[in-house]
Amino acid sequence: MRIPPSEVYVSPMWITLIGFMASGKTTVARRLGPVTGRAVVSLDDLVVRRAGCSIPEIFSKYGELHFRNLELEILQELDRNRDLILDGGGGLVETPAAVNLIREQGAVIWLDSSWESVLRRLEIQRDGDRPLVSLLESNHLENLFHRRLPLYAQAADFRLQGDGGDPEAVAGLVNLRCRMWQSRSGGRTR
Ligand code: S3P
């Protein structure tokens, strides 16, 4: 069957992983690179490089809004003519312009993990690189988790369980679902 040209996805396509902190985005993104043959880009790493200091330092010196602006600025500068795996920070969905951009550029996948497993991982990781983890002492982080759920749901083309086991298997599933999404809907043409 021939697919009408209007329904063929206009390459290139970014595959962007979204989801709360410690829901497995970075681990799955790193596995997805070789699976899909795409370069993997970590937005957090690019922000740190641009700012010349760590994420906690950006938050404490300049505030969260500055961090969000840097995220958006860097996202807008990324190569739109290249297929990429984008490992987005957990708060990317707080910026509507960022959400529009990643949706325009391709598939957005929400790695959804339960609050219990996020909490377990954050307590194990406690690497000091996530300033918002200081909110753990109160119930603010849990509130943030619940407040963001509808934002992830709205931004995503589909949702997968981030705490659903082997990251290799989750990466394989992301790849498969992206292909199905692309062939079924034609993706989004620009
Ligand atoms: C943040 C998540 C972090 C990082 C920053 C803020 C958030 O990314 O961007 O600490 O607001 O949820 P990860 O989700 O990769 O930890």
pLDDT digits (tens, 9 = 90+) for 120-150: 888 877 667 888 887 777 789 999 999 999 9
Report the C-alpha gap between 89 and 75 in whole angstroms: 11
CATH of the domain at 88: 3.40.50.300
Query: Is 24 inside a domain boundary?
Result: yes
Q: Report the amino acid identity of residue 29.
A: A
Pull the structure tokens for residue 189.
């043409």
* Distance (Å, whole) CA 84 – CA 40: 6
pLDDT score of 186:
64
Find the mean pLDDT for residues 104-122.
Answer: 93
In a domain, 120, yes or no: yes
Per residue in 39-88, pLDDT tens? 999 999 999 999 999 999 999 999 999 999 999 999 999 999 999 999 99
Indicate whether 122 belongs to any domain: yes
Q: Give how many domains the chain has, as a whole number.
A: 1
Residue range of the domain that includes 27: 13-184
Q: How far is the CA of 7 from the centre of ligand 1 (A)?
A: 35
- What is the 187 CA–ligand 1 centroid distance (Å)? 27
Task: Look at residue 161 and give its three-state secondary structure.
Answer: strand
Alpha carbons within 13 angstroms on the beta-carbon side of residue 142 total 9
Q: Which residue has the tokens 């970590």?
A: 42
Ligand 1, atom 11: nearest CA belongs to which residue?
Answer: 91
* Whole-number Å distance between alpha carbons of 86 and 13: 10
63 CA → ligand 1 middle, Å: 14
Using the mean position of ligand 1's atoms as its centre, give its distance from the Cα of residue 52 in Å.
17
Q: Is 41 helix (H, G, I), strand (E, B) or coil?
A: strand
Q: Is residue 8 part of a domain?
A: no
For residue 181, the tally of other CB atoms under 10 A from its CB is 20
Helix axes 115-125, 140-155, angle to 10 degrees: 120
Q: Which pLDDT belongs to residue 11?
A: 57
CA atoms of 20 and 144, how far apart (whole Å): 9
List the beta strands (DSSP E) in 76-157: 84-87, 106-112
- Integer angstrom CA distances of residue 145 from 16, 62, 83, 85, 140: 19, 23, 30, 24, 9
Residue 40 host element (H or E): strand 39-42
pTM, two decimals, is 0.90
Nearest Cα residue to atom 8 of ligand 1: 89
In a domain, 137, yes or no: yes
In a domain, 4, yes or no: no
Peptide linkage before 12 cis (omega within 30 of 0): yes
Residues with CB under 6 A from ligand 1: 21, 25-26, 44, 55, 89-91, 130-132
Furthest C-alpha separation in the chain: 58
Is 1 part of a structural domain of the chain? no
Mutate to test the pocket of ligand 1, among 49, 93, 125, 132 (most ligand atoms within 8 A of CB): 132
Q: What is the dihedral of CA 54, 161, 75, 27, to 10 degrees?
A: 50
Question: Which of 68, 127, 130, 133 best tests ligand 1's pocket when mutated (most atoms within 8 Å of CB)?
Answer: 130
In a domain, 148, yes or no: yes
